[in-house]
Amino acid sequence: MLSKKEKRIKRHIKIRKRISGTSEAPRLFVFRSLNHIYAQLINDDNGLVVESVSDKDVKAKVNKTQKSLEVGKLIAKKAIDKKIEKVVFDRGGLTFHGRVKAVADGAREGGLKF
């Protein structure tokens, strides 16, 4: 019997077989913990993290979903400052709803294309 975490990691491995980040379109990886959410832009060709943001960088006193939306907008702003307009979204084995979807929506609002 696999735990929830092991199932998520197994799904993430399947996803990672299909997608990869490049210098033109880095991978936008989202990690959600119980209390926080993190987003990273990763160039898999070089194995480098280009940018990273967490909800700890957001100072607004709002709920977790709204903080996730702000994280998406913040990562988009940092990416556009580095002249990155297109990314590949990696949900990390998580279902695409709630806070994960909010990060994607915020990144789209910020100007990134998936």
In angstroms, what is the C-alpha Rg of the chain?
A: 14
Three-class DSSP category at 85? coil
Strand order in the sheet with 27-32: 48-54, 37-43, 27-32, 88-90
- The model's pLDDT over 57-108, given as tens digits with 9 standing for 90+, comes to 998 889 999 999 999 999 999 999 999 999 999 999 999 999 999 999 999 9
pLDDT of residue 30 exceeding 90, the answer is: yes
d(CA 112, CA 108): 5
Query: Which secondary structure element, helix H or strand E, spans residue 67, and what is its range?
Result: helix 64-81
Domain architecture of the chain: domains with CATH? 4-110 (3.30.420.100)
The distance from CA 66 to its chain's CA centroid, rounded to whole angstroms, is 15
Neighbours of 44 (CB within 10 A): 17
The dihedrals phi and psi of 111, each to the nearest 5 degrees, come to 115, 0
Q: What percent of the chain has pLDDT over 70?
A: 100
CB 32 within 8 A of CB 104: no
